[in-house]
Structure 1
Amino acid sequence: MASIAIKDIPQLYQKAMKLQSSGRLKEAHDIYNEIVDVRPQTAEAHYQIGRIAREVKDFKVATAALNKALQLKPGESVVLRELAETLGDAGDVDEAIRAFEELAKLRPRDEDAQLQLAMLHQRQGRFEESEKHFRKALRLSPGDGIVYRAWLQGKKVKKGEPIIREMLDAYKSPKVQGRLRANLCFAIAKAYEDTKENEKVFHFLNEGNGMMARAFPFDQKAFDTEFDESLRLQKAFSWRKEVPPLDNSEFAPILVTGLPRSGTTLTEQIIASHSMVEGSGEIGVLGKMCRRIMLDRNGQDWRKTLELRDTQYEAFPRLIEAEFRKRVSFDKLVTDKTISNFRYIGLIRELIPNARIIVVRRDPRDQLLSIYKNVFREGTHTYAYDFEALARYYRKFVDCIEFWREQMPDAFTEIAYEELVNDPEVQSRKLIAAAGLEWEDACLDFHKTKRDVKTLSIHQVRQPMYKSSARAWEKYADDLKPLTDALERYGVLDWHYKT
């Protein structure tokens, strides 16, 4: 773009906003950059650069741009909130807390600021501090089921605690509807499970899941097409027998994958307790890049066949490393716990031969029950709220793993969750060896490792390993009969134990 005149900035800014809202982020980003080159004090353009960078998970650029916007407009709450959320996404929890505390001072009745502070402290294992902010959020928004559910995610409820009565009162209130009521149902179910009143759990679980399923319908046909097409392309691909040396051979990410609630967070935490490893959680770039290779140039349709050029083989490892480093700082080895990576084991191994891939599997009754008991980010994992869809999704997982076992059994290591919790030292040693590391005793004390944990397993990874989550489904056998029947129809009820 040619150099612009200052008088044209308002019109160009509006053009960039339209491009941004239509998803054409790079074009919008280029215009915002042109604006700040000509007029560096344009806070709005810095703010939008930050928002775009956050969306593509380039957290370093996002943080710098948002700090610049805030410097130009001190006390601007919209910018401050975006900065605080970006810092939280980037794993810079202490700075995120400071930013949200500043926002809370500017907006003392901002319930979301208190909720975010509560969850940030919770992520760090500071549960007493998080409870103070959950209480503040509830004072600002009484009966808010989203707050209760987030709070109980990191809290074990004891029988007779006042929080149970509070939630039941909120449940009876006609004011608590929609998302607030759905989340409240999940929170009450969690409380009853904690207090071992198991006969009351599924009344609330079924209501909460039903509401979520209606709010976010699962498109089974679209999901099947997307899943099946990506596997079809990989099944027809000619995998290399030998892999030439890489330019960046030191980049050897450790990928932990599997379905949600299979034990991937626990597995990553054990590995990340090693002195050579930086745990990063879900980076989420490998699957996107693999799909990009499998889609046509317009990114709309699946290719007829999958082919890779020499230039792609050469460029891919460096590109992936650069994408990782945008999201997390690491000196030695880094983990990526993106659960969908199991779908692309072949392509990942083909393009990053040094990657260590670990697949975690679990009894489907325990695993799918755990999914059914949780709420996911809106619009994601929409299969999670229906037993039939859950069983069908598990069947897809089995098909995928069976294919990779046949095609390239040496490309990945399987860890069974039940074996890990029943025999922690032996299985942890196996796990550390699979990650290509020498054993360190700190890996058995994973619950003492101080790192940011963003997942639904936020409470579990702060505790020593326990066995109670294995065969947890048995106490709900009658309630889970529609699920077990569906798993049996799909032929995967006992797959976990036959492998």
Structure 2
Amino acid sequence: MTLSVELSEEIISKVEKSRVLYNERKFNEGLDLLTACVHLKPDDALLLFEQACFLYQLGQFDQSIKALERSINITPNSRNHSFLGSILADLGKPSEAAFHYLQAFKFNPSNTYCAYAMAYNGDYDVNGEEYQIIHAALQRNAQQPIDYARLNMALGKIHLKNKDVPGALSFFHTGKKISENFSNYDLSADTLRTQKIISAFKALEYEEMPTSTASNNSTRVALIFGLPRSGTTLLETMLNSHADIQGIGESKLLSSSLEHLAHQFNEEMFQIEHLTKCTAQDWKNSGQQMIGQVNYYGKRWIVDKQLFNYVWLGCAQKLNPDSVFIDIRRNP
């Protein structure tokens, strides 16, 4: 991202150093530099955006949202609206997230991910302006296959939410057919990975499942998992109606905690090989980071319905022994 020519050499130098620190996962140090820059130039939208990135990585979601809102008030664009939308979606605020995804898509119609995210999080009428915006983008000939697939899936999602199943299936079928041409999903590779995870846990001296020590005032996590169309969304919606429960949809809660573990080995993503390298203190530190994320909501229970959490359930238990797992299976 290009910095403004109006910035002083001091600020430019600090920002460049902060970007290096970001890549090195040294978020606290980088945030200090960005915060100093924002104090010197409080009306620069890009500085506020980059500050928000550090705040988000540190789990300071409220402050990250405020920085992005300030950035948008100064210079609204697809980037800051999209980022704010993703944070709000992670925090279980779909309608607010959808609004910002819509703004991001309006600023940059080539950002088709925002179109799909907007349709997934929002509730729109098939005759509404939002639907027409996506449909108009679909009619353009310049779309890449992945963009064309996303737009079809977005329209299908809106039809489905309007209980128009035939219309939804038509768009879903088109989107799926297109996506198959560039999808590199390999079932055999996924099966092999799962087998490796099972073998890795069997090789560990895996202590007996600890007894829950959660107090009445502490936040606990429930992970719902299962195949698509098995009822995970319905269950989360039902649980979310309780005053002590906050549903956060298909969040990055578990994956971000595993990334936190991976960073201790100077890796971006958690790998199966890390299982044998993690110490009890490593699990504890990343588990505390996980709970730090959910404490934001101020609720007794947090419910996450990321379908593919099942792959790392063993890790979830190591991160937070008080977690509860709900396995939904469709019959037939």
Supply the distance in 2 between the matched residues of 1:341 and 1:68 (Cα, whole angstroms).
Answer: 39
1:45-82 deviation line (CA, Å, top 9, x unaligned): 2343245438xxx6x66644532343456555544323
Match of 2:21?
49
Percent identity at matched positions?
A: 14
Change (3 A) 1:317 1:159: closer
Give yes or no for the alignment of 1:342 onto 2:313. Answer: no
Quick check: 2:18–2:30 contact (8 Å CA) kept in 1? no
Task: Please list every run of 5 or more consecutive structure 2 residues that lacks an aligned counterpart in the other structure.
Answer: 1-12, 264-269
The AA in structure 1 aligned to 2:284 is: R
Counterpart pick for 1:270 among 230, 239, 260: 239
Bigger CA radius of gyration: 1
Quick check: 1:230–1:291 contact (8 Å CA) kept in 2? no
Supply the distance in 2 between the matched residues of 1:212 and 1:91 (Cα, whole angstroms).
Answer: 34
Supply the distance in 1 between the matched residues of 2:15 and 2:233 (Cα, whole angstroms).
Answer: 41
Counterpart pick for 2:142 among 172, 175, 187: 175
The AA in structure 2 aligned to 1:114 is: H
Change (3 A) 1:359 1:340: same
Change (3 A) 1:99 1:81: same
Supply the distance in 2 between the matched residues of 1:174 and 1:218 (Cα, whole angstroms).
Answer: 27
Task: Please list every run of 5 or more consecutive structure 1 residues that lacks an aligned counterpart in the other structure.
Answer: 1-40, 293-298, 364-492, 495-499
Change (3 A) 1:269 1:172: same
Supply the distance in 1 between the matched residues of 2:139 and 2:182 (Cα, whole angstroms).
Answer: 21
Quote how far apart the aligned CAs of 1:359 are.
2.2
Give yes or no for the alignment of 1:191 onto 2:191. Answer: no
Match of 1:360?
327
Counterpart pick for 2:255 among 284, 287, 299: 284
Change (3 A) 1:197 1:237: same
Quick check: 1:134–1:151 contact (8 Å CA) kept in 2? yes
1:238-267 deviation line (CA, Å, top 9, x unaligned): 655686x99x98788534142475527954
Q: Secondary structure at the match of 1:66?
A: helix
Quote how far apart the aligned CAs of 1:185 are.
0.7
Supply the distance in 1 between the matched residues of 2:291 and 2:84 (Cα, whole angstroms).
Answer: 26
Quick check: 1:231–1:343 contact (8 Å CA) kept in 2? no
Q: Secondary structure at the match of 2:122?
A: coil
Supply the distance in 1 between the matched residues of 2:248 and 2:111 (Cα, whole angstroms).
Answer: 33
Residue pairs, 1:438-477, within 5 angstroms: none
Quote how far apart the aligned CAs of 1:197 are.
3.5
Match of 2:200?
233
Supply the distance in 1 between the matched residues of 2:16 and 2:53 (Cα, whole angstroms).
Answer: 18
Supply the distance in 2 between the matched residues of 1:61 and 1:274 (Cα, whole angstroms).
Answer: 38
Change (3 A) 1:129 1:138: same
1:214-242 deviation line (CA, Å, top 9, x unaligned): 44411334322221111123346665568
Give yes or no for the alignment of 1:113 onto 2:80. Answer: yes
Quote how far apart the aligned CAs of 1:175 are.
2.8
Residue pairs, 1:386-405, within 5 angstroms: none
1:318-374 deviation line (CA, Å, top 9, x unaligned): 33444336645479977584655534555665x5784243223142xxxxxxxxxxx
Supply the distance in 2 between the matched residues of 1:270 and 1:278 (Cα, whole angstroms).
Answer: 7
The AA in structure 1 aligned to 2:196 is: E
Change (3 A) 1:290 1:255: farther
Supply the distance in 1 between the matched residues of 2:74 and 2:182 (Cα, whole angstroms).
Answer: 34
Supply the distance in 2 between the matched residues of 1:128 and 1:43 (Cα, whole angstroms).
Answer: 30
